Amino acid sequence: MQVSIACTDHNLKARNNEERHKQNSSSPKLGNGARAKFRTVAIIARSLGHFIPQNHMSLKESTAKQTGMKYRNLGKSGLRVSCLGLGTWVTFGGQISDEVAEELMTIAYEHGVNLFDTAEVYAAGKRSSLVITTKLYWGGKAETERGLSRKHIIEGLKASLQRMQLEYVDVVFANRPDTNTPMEEIVRAMTYVINQGMAMYWGTSRWSAMEIMEAYSVARQFNLIPPVCEQAEYHIFQREKIEVQLPELYHKIGIGAMTWSPLACGIISGKYDIGVPDSSRASLKCYQWLKDKIISEEGRRQQAKLKDLTPIVERLSCTLPQLAIAWCLRTEGVSSVLLGASNAQQLTENLGAIQVLSKLTTQTVTEIDNILGNKPYSKKDYRS
């Protein structure tokens, strides 16, 4: 189970009311307004030291005047999230320093990002104050610390809220369907944590369309709360689920998509076009599977296709990562694309994809599809 936090206006106000008069005397002398605007983000970054934004502007001002960030409903729910979110599997995964993590969160927020995705497994247990709830199958060794039983969902979320000093989270995701737990129990448990005020919405992560539909049917049958969103991998080399399966669910039952890995674990970044650099993630022993994928025959074909996209990149005056991220954003039903970055330059570049989105005309998308040659067959073309 994992949790995504959306720093929406109502959250900022609710979570800040209690804290305004509890400022530590050693903390920076920020005004109440500035502190309120960054309150939710600061909670996540608490163990990293004092979270000090460079420019104290509100999210609305930042969005309207500088960044061009767009906001979308999470599926067909009423929750508005930035179309680009910060996935903290890199930010808080122990791969970068605390100072860089703070810097990345500041950059993201000041670019209009209000969605921060985290889970216990990303921090590997080293930064307990960043853990919102346990992640499926990595919660612990005991049987009750794994899966999606009612006990694990409720106790895990309660413990995480206590650690984070939060009254509730916005969205709690059930990561992978638990074949050992009846679907009715999962849906009832998620309905319970929402009714108890511990979460606003719930979603699925890496579930099949059939499993999502089963959860929806159970919810409707027993007057329970259905999921509103599915988290799934999506990039130019992996398209079937997001472009064929989920649009059907979006139109039928309102399930939106929050996608991750828009650069395919860095494969689309361009840094592997001539091999695997020693400083890259794929050079690490724990990422041997990624290296094998890159140097495989299929990997070489993918790199060749990326080079074929160069004329489009140059014509749109953008970078390859920006084009790839904007391409993901253009798909109907995608509420938000989660970014992962290890340094400020990379994150700033990726956030620039917002400026490329308006340049992706139908003709340009068709040109990209012709180069990739992997557009999945669908009875209806859901791409706008």
CA neighbor of 250 nearest in space, from 232, 228, 234, 233: 228
- Give the 3-state secondary structure of residue 254: coil
Distance CA 118, CA 2 (A): 7
Residue type for position 269? S
Distance CA 15, CA 133 (A): 18
- Give the 3-state secondary structure of residue 169: strand
Q: Interior CA angle at 87 toward 210 and 214, to 5°?
A: 15
Strands 169-175 and 2-6: antiparallel
- Give the 3-state secondary structure of residue 258: strand
Distance CA 8, CA 82 (A): 10
CA neighbor of 235 nearest in space, from 306, 315, 300: 306
Cβ–Cβ < 8 Å for 102, 48: yes
Count H helices, E strands: the chain? 19, 10
CA torsion 140-142-148-152 (nearest 10°) is: -80
The sign of the dihedral angle between the CA atoms of 106, 108, 114, 115 is negative
122 noted as active-site residue: yes
Number of Cβ atoms within 10 Å of the Cβ of 234: 26
| The two three-digit tokens of residue 170, written as one number | 């916005």
DSSP 195-247: HTTSEEEEEEES--HHHHHHHHHHHHHTT-PPP-EEEEE-BTTB-HIIIIIHH
Q: Which of 71, 109, 122, 168 is catalytic?
A: 122
Q: Which residues are catalytic?
A: 122
